[in-house]
Structure 1
C-alpha cells in the first residue's frame, strides 16, 4: 500500500511539475509577444533581438524563433550546442504577434519557443510505472491472502483510513497551494521573468487601472521607486490628454478581449516627458482575476519633441514616425527658432507607382510594405533631426548642421538603395523605387511652407523624369511644375472630349517587304496645341490614374482603324499591337478588351499586347492571371524593349510570350562608326535571335532607319521590323494611303 501511495503521490508531483514547467513556458511566450509587437510597430530590430536574447537566456528555452507574416524567419536565437534546425525531440510552443487596435487587429508574425522537457520527468515516469505495477501486484496478493483479517478489522480500519486520508491530503494541499490565488503583492510572480528584466519597461495593471507591479527596467528608466508606483493609478504617470486615452484603451481591452497599442506621453520622476509606444494584452490569474500586461518602449528618437501637445494626435501609428501635422508644426518651430547661419535640408521621399501597388495588392499588403521599408530605412532616419510619414506613400526628413547639404545627398542615396531590394510580402514579391526631392533653408525657402513645397516640387520633377532618383530644388522647376499642371489639365480634357487617338506605324516582313500589321501609338490631339507626343503625358497619366481611360479611347479607335486598314489593304488578317502599362493590366481591362474585340469583329489572334519589364516588377498574381487570360482569349503577348532590362531572360522563363521586340539601341549599334561597337551589337542581336528561336518566339526589330540595318537583320534571321525606314507613325488617313 505504501508503495502504491508513494507512486501515486510521485506521479501527481511529476504531473504538477510538468504542468508548472509548461505553464512557465506559456507565460513566457504570453508576456514576450506584446513586447515584440511593440518592437515590430516601431521597426526596432535591435530591441527585438534584445528581447529574443533575453528569452533564449532563460534556462528552460533552447531556441527562439520570430517569424513574420509571410512565414520568413525574421530572427533566430538558439543554444550554440544545438544543431541548426529543430531537433525532433524538442517540444515547441507558438504565440501569435498581433498589431492593430479594435477591429483592425491582425496577426503580423509568430513567436516560436523550442524547449526540452526536464529529463527527470521522463526518467521518473518509468520508475513510477514500474513501482506502481509492483505495488499493485503486491496489494492484490495481500488482499487475497488476508481478506479475512481485513474484514475482521473493518471497524478499526476506518481509523487507519482516516490516517491514510490525512496523509493523502498532503498532495491535495500542494495542489491548492499551486492554484491558490496570489495576493496583490504576489500577482507579479505570474510574470516573474519579465518583471526581473533590467531593460524592458513592463507593468501589470489591475482592472481598476492601478499598477500592481512594474519591472526593474520600468523603475530604472522612469526614475520612480517601487513604493511610488504600486497601487497608484496609471493616469498619474501620463500627461493630461492621454489619461482619457489609456482609460478607454484598458476598458476596450477587458470588454473586447483584444490587445491594445498606441502612443502615450509618459511623465518621468524628474518631471520630463517622453513619447512611448505601448502594447497591452489581457491576462488572468488562476482565480480568474483580470489584469492588463503592458510593455512600453521609449520612441522619442522617432517622434516630435513638442511640449504641451497631445502626442497621439501627431503620431503615425503605422510606422511610429511623426504624421504630417506634427511634422509641419515641428518644422515651423525649427525655422522660427533658427539662428543666423543655421543650415537645414528637407528631403521629400515619394514611392513611385505606389497607388498601383495599393490597388492591386490590397491595403494590408501596402501597409506591410511601408513598415518593412521604414525598418530598412531606420539607420538613415536616426541620422535626421526629424523624420515623418506625411501621407500614404510620402515621407520627409529634416537634417541640420553645416554639412546638411552633403549629408542630405548621402542619406538620399542610402534611402534609394535600400528601397531597390525586392520585398516579399505574403505571396507577392514587390520591387519599388523612390523619387527624392531636396530643398535647403535658407537658400531656397523663407518659411516652413515653402521649405516643404519646394522639396515636393523637386520630388515631382524626379517622378516626371521616370522616378527612381534624386533631385535638388532649382527655381527652374517652378516652370516645370506649372507645365505639369497644364499637362494634367490637357489629359483631363482629352478624356472628357475624346481627344486621344492612335497613330499607326507599320510592321514589315523583312524577307518580302509586305506590311503584316501596325502598332497603335497614343497621341493627344489638342484643339489649340495640336498633336502632343506621348513623352509629354504618358507618365503623368499613369501617375494620375487616368491612363486606363485614355487607353480605352485608344483601343476602340485602333480596332476601328484596323478594320478600315484591312479593307483597304485587302487583307482581313492584318495585326494590330497596343501597349499596356502595369496600371492597365487589370481584370476589368481584360474584360473590356474582349468585349471590344467582339464589338468590332476582330479576331483576338490579330491583337498583340505589348508589355515591358515594368509590368513584371510587381511580380503579382494579378499580372500572371491577366496575361494568362489574354492568352486564353487568343491574343498574342510581346515583350517590348527586350535586352534593356536586367532580368529579361528571367521573365521569359516564367511568362510565355509569343514575340520578342529587339530594342532600337541594338539596331542603331549595327551601323555605328566604331567597328567594335557594331560587332558587339550584331553579336547581341544574334544571341537574342538564338534565344527567340529556342523559345519559339517571333522577332520584331524596332527603330530600323537604314537599309544597311535591315540587311544585317535579314542575315541574322530576324523576321519583322518597324521604323522610319518603312514608315513613321501616321494618323489613320495617311496610313490608309500607305497600304
Structure 2
C-alpha cells in the first residue's frame, strides 16, 4: 500500500438543504460507484534475469532450489524468455496452465500470435507492457481471463536481453465487473427514468423507493467484492486523509481500519523510498491521471516491505477530484527474488567475487577514469598452478574450499579501490587503479605470489599451491579492455612456461609467440586427422655386446605450411589443451605396430619405448587403453616399454603406484626418464615396479670434464646395480663418455655416438647393418 507524503489543499464543507438531499444521495451513489469501479486488482510485477549456468555446485544448487520454491509458491504464473523469445524458464503454475512440464517449455516459442507480438514489442522497445487483460485457453479447451505484465530484462550495460512476464487468473474479478456493469446500466436507466418521473408528481415517491432498493443491492455487491479482494484497497479524500481500508490492508500492514482512518498514508512511510518518486506520484494524481509504481514501505511492527501501487483519482460531475483510490500488492518476495537473481548474474556463486560480466564493466570504468586522470592502470591475470591435480586427488569439495580461501587472501592484499574477480575455474583477474608506475603493479603482484604460496589449511589438511601471474599496464600496453585482458592472459602463459610460481609483464614480442601458439593449438586436431605426425626412433645399444637392444619412439610433426615443428614447441601446447591424449594414444598404437614389425623373424628382441605425458599418466583408464591396443595388434607386451619422468611420478605417489601396477600387470617394461633431475625418494623408487632408470643427458654431456657429473652418474649406476635395475645413459656423444659408462657398469646407452633419431625405413636399415664393432673396446 502506498505511503503518500506531501501537502494537499483542503476544501470547506458545503451545507446542503433538505431539498437537496435527493441530489446529494445521487452524487454519493455515483461517487462510490466510480471509486469502487477503479479498484482493479493490480498484480505482482516480476523483474529478473538469468545468463547461463555452467556446471552447478552445492552453493548454486541451494540458491536455485530456494528460487524455484519461491516461484512455485507464489499464486502467479511466471515465465521468462531470452532475446530470441524462446522460453528460458517458468514456474509450475505457468506450466500447469499450458498443460506441460516446465522442462518441456524451455527452448520453445509461444504459439499464441498475440503473446509473441507483445513479447516482441517489449524486446524491441525496451518498455514494459502492463495490465494487459486477455483470454487464455486451457489444454481442455476452456478459457479464462488473465491480467498480464511484461517487462524487459536488462544486462549490466542496460541492453535488453530478454522478457519477464507474469499473469494472474482474473475470472472472478471479470465476473464481478460484468455484474457491476450490469448493475451500473440498470442504475443509469433507473436514474434517467427517475429524473423523468420526478417531473410527474404522482410517481415521485414510488420511483425513489425502488431506486433505493437497487442502490442497496449494488452497494452490497460492491462492498463484498472489495472486502474479499486479495489486494490492499485504500480510499482517501481529496486531501489524502484515509477514509476506508479493506481487510487485506490490515492483514498486510498490521494497521486496523480504525487505526488508519483519519490519518495520512504517510503512516506507512519507511524513509527508504526516494522523495522524487513521491513528487511524481502527487503531481500525476493531482493532474487527474493514473499512477503506478513501487514503494518501499513499513508495517506497523517495523518490518519493511515492497508495495506495487496503483492510484486513481475520482472526480465529481464538475470534474473536481473528491477521492483517491489506491490498490496495492505486497511484492517483497518478488523483489527479493529479483535481487538474488541479479546477484547470481553478476557475482561468482562460490567465492562471491565479481564474475566475468561484472569484471568487464568495472574494468571499463576504471580504464576510463585512468585515461581521464592521466595515470596508470594495471591488470593482473592469475592462474593457479596444478589446481586440476588437487581437484583430481583431493576432490572437488576440497578444491572449492581452496578457491574460496585463495579469493580471501587476494582481497586481503589489495586496496579498497582495486577489484578482484573470478573468471571461472582457477582463473582470477585483478584491476589495480591509480598506479604511478609499473613498479607499483610489480610490488602488489609479488605480495600476491607470496600470499598464495603460503600453505592453506583445508579441513585440517595442509595444502600448498602456487600461481602464475601475467601483468599488463594501461595506457603503456593498450587503451581498451579487450586488449588488456588478452595481454594479461599472454603474460600469464609466459609465466607458466617460465616454470610457474612467477610473474611476467606483457611485451610486444608476446603477440607473435601467442599468435603462433594459438595457430598451433587450432591445427593440432587437424594434424591428427590428416596424419601429419610421424615417429622417429633413436636406437638403444647394449654396451656389453654392441648390439641394438631397443629404440625410443620420438614424435615429429610435418606441418604442410610451417614445416617441421619441434616437439618442444607443440607438446606443451598439447598438454595444456588436452590434445596430448589422442596424440599419445596414436603414438602408442604406432609404436606397437613398429615393435611387432621389426621383431618378426628375429632371435634377439628389440623393445620400443614410448614416453608417457603427465596428462596420460593421470588417466586411470590408461592400463585398460594400453591393453586394448596390445590385444588388437597382437603384440608381445615384453616388446613395449613406457618412460615416465620422475617429476610426474612424484606428483601423486598413490595414483602413480596404481597406474604403474596396472601397466606392469600387462607385462610391459617401465622406465623412469630423466632420472636425477627431479625429486624422487629412494624409498618410492624401491616400491615402484620399475625396470629401467634413464640417466639424463645433462649428467652425461660434461663427462669427463665435470667431476660432479661423473660422481652423480657413478652413484646412480652403483645404486641401480644394488636394486637390480637396468640403466640406460642418454646423450652419449663421445668415446670418453662411453668408456666411463662401461667402466662403471652401465648396461645400455643411446646418443649421437651411435645414431640420431631415424624414420622407420632408416631404422630397419640400421638394424640390418649395425654390428657390434660399432662399440669400441
Give the alignment's TM-score, normalised by structure 1: 0.56
Structure-2 residue corresponding to 1:131: none
The answer to whether 1:333 aligns with 2:361 is no
Q: In the TM superposition, what is the alpha-carbon distance from 1:394 to its structure 2 partner?
A: 1.1
Structure-2 residue corresponding to 1:112: none
On the 8 A contact 2:299/2:305 being kept in 1, the answer is: no
On the 8 A contact 1:498/1:553 being kept in 2, the answer is: no
User: What is the RMSD computed on CA atoms of the aligned residues?
Assistant: 3.6
The answer to whether 1:486 aligns with 2:514 is no
Q: In the TM superposition, what is the alpha-carbon distance from 1:480 to its structure 2 partner?
A: 1.0
Match of 2:470, SS state, is: strand
CA distance in 2, matches of 1:397, 1:391: 13
On the 8 A contact 2:452/2:465 being kept in 1, the answer is: yes
Name which of 330, 339, 346 aligns with 1:314.
346
Name which of 551, 573, 576 aligns with 2:605.
573
Q: In the TM superposition, what is the alpha-carbon distance from 1:667 to its structure 2 partner?
A: 0.6
Match of 2:578, SS state, is: coil
Name which of 279, 288, 303 aligns with 1:233.
303
Q: Measured at CA, do residues 488 and 566 of structure 1 come closer, stay the same or move farther in structure 2, by a change above 3 Å?
A: same
Structure-2 residue corresponding to 1:445: 478
Q: In the TM superposition, what is the alpha-carbon distance from 1:444 to its structure 2 partner?
A: 0.6
Q: C-alpha deviations, 1:174-223, integer Å up to 9, x for none?
A: xxxxxxxxxxxxxxxxxxxxxxxxxxxxxxxxxx999xxxxxxxxxxx9x
CA distance in 2, matches of 1:714, 1:567: 30
Name which of 385, 393, 397 aligns with 2:418.
385
Q: In the TM superposition, what is the alpha-carbon distance from 1:402 to its structure 2 partner?
A: 4.0
The answer to whether 1:719 aligns with 2:747 is yes
CA distance in 2, matches of 1:478, 1:382: 31
Q: C-alpha deviations, 1:431-453, integer Å up to 9, x for none?
A: 65433211001101112222112
The answer to whether 1:595 aligns with 2:628 is yes
What number of residue pairs does the alignment pair up?
458
The answer to whether 1:535 aligns with 2:568 is yes
Q: In the TM superposition, what is the alpha-carbon distance from 1:349 to its structure 2 partner?
A: 1.1
On the 8 A contact 1:384/1:397 being kept in 2, the answer is: no
CA distance in 2, matches of 1:247, 1:209: 18
On the 8 A contact 2:382/2:469 being kept in 1, the answer is: yes
Structure-1 residue corresponding to 2:661: 628
The answer to whether 1:100 aligns with 2:59 is yes
On the 8 A contact 1:385/1:398 being kept in 2, the answer is: yes
The answer to whether 1:471 aligns with 2:504 is yes
Match of 1:395, SS state, is: strand
On the 8 A contact 1:369/1:423 being kept in 2, the answer is: yes
Q: Measured at CA, do residues 695 and 236 of structure 1 come closer, stay the same or move farther in structure 2, by a change above 3 Å?
A: farther
Name which of 377, 383, 399 aligns with 1:366.
399
Q: Measured at CA, do residues 629 and 372 of structure 1 come closer, stay the same or move farther in structure 2, by a change above 3 Å?
A: farther
Q: C-alpha deviations, 1:605-636, integer Å up to 9, x for none?
A: 22221111342354175433222211121222
Q: In the TM superposition, what is the alpha-carbon distance from 1:704 to its structure 2 partner?
A: 1.2
Q: In the TM superposition, what is the alpha-carbon distance from 1:712 to its structure 2 partner?
A: 0.9
Q: In the TM superposition, what is the alpha-carbon distance from 1:567 to its structure 2 partner?
A: 3.0
Structure-2 residue corresponding to 1:409: 442
- The answer to which of 577-586 and 348-357 deviates more is 348-357
On the 8 A contact 1:209/1:247 being kept in 2, the answer is: no
Structure-1 residue corresponding to 2:74: none
Q: C-alpha deviations, 1:356-382, integer Å up to 9, x for none?
A: 655676543432342343355454345
Structure-1 residue corresponding to 2:488: 455
Structure-2 residue corresponding to 1:7: none
Q: In the TM superposition, what is the alpha-carbon distance from 1:737 to its structure 2 partner?
A: 0.8
Structure-2 residue corresponding to 1:287: none
Match of 2:471, SS state, is: strand
Structure-1 residue corresponding to 2:75: none
Structure-2 residue corresponding to 1:116: none
The answer to whether 1:698 aligns with 2:722 is no
Q: In the TM superposition, what is the alpha-carbon distance from 1:474 to its structure 2 partner?
A: 0.9
Q: Measured at CA, do residues 101 and 699 of structure 1 come closer, stay the same or move farther in structure 2, by a change above 3 Å?
A: same
Q: In the TM superposition, what is the alpha-carbon distance from 1:684 to its structure 2 partner?
A: 1.0
On the 8 A contact 1:209/1:233 being kept in 2, the answer is: no
The answer to whether 1:558 aligns with 2:588 is no
Q: C-alpha deviations, 1:8-35, integer Å up to 9, x for none?
A: xxxxxxxxxxxxxxxxxxxxxxxxxxxx
Unaligned 5+ runs, structure 2? 1-56, 66-251, 255-271, 273-297, 308-330, 768-777
Q: In the TM superposition, what is the alpha-carbon distance from 1:545 to its structure 2 partner?
A: 0.8
Q: C-alpha deviations, 1:535-585, integer Å up to 9, x for none?
A: 1200111111111111111111111112222237x2462111111112112
Q: C-alpha deviations, 1:508-533, integer Å up to 9, x for none?
A: 11122211111111112223443322
CA distance in 2, matches of 1:533, 1:318: 41
CA distance in 2, matches of 1:553, 1:429: 39
On the 8 A contact 1:671/1:709 being kept in 2, the answer is: yes
Unaligned 5+ runs, structure 1? 1-97, 107-207, 211-221, 223-227, 250-262, 265-308, 673-677
On the 8 A contact 1:430/1:619 being kept in 2, the answer is: no
The answer to whether 1:652 aligns with 2:685 is yes
Q: Residues 47-58 of structure 1 correspond to what in structure 2 (within 5 A)?
A: none
Match of 2:756, SS state, is: coil
CA distance in 2, matches of 1:209, 1:343: 53
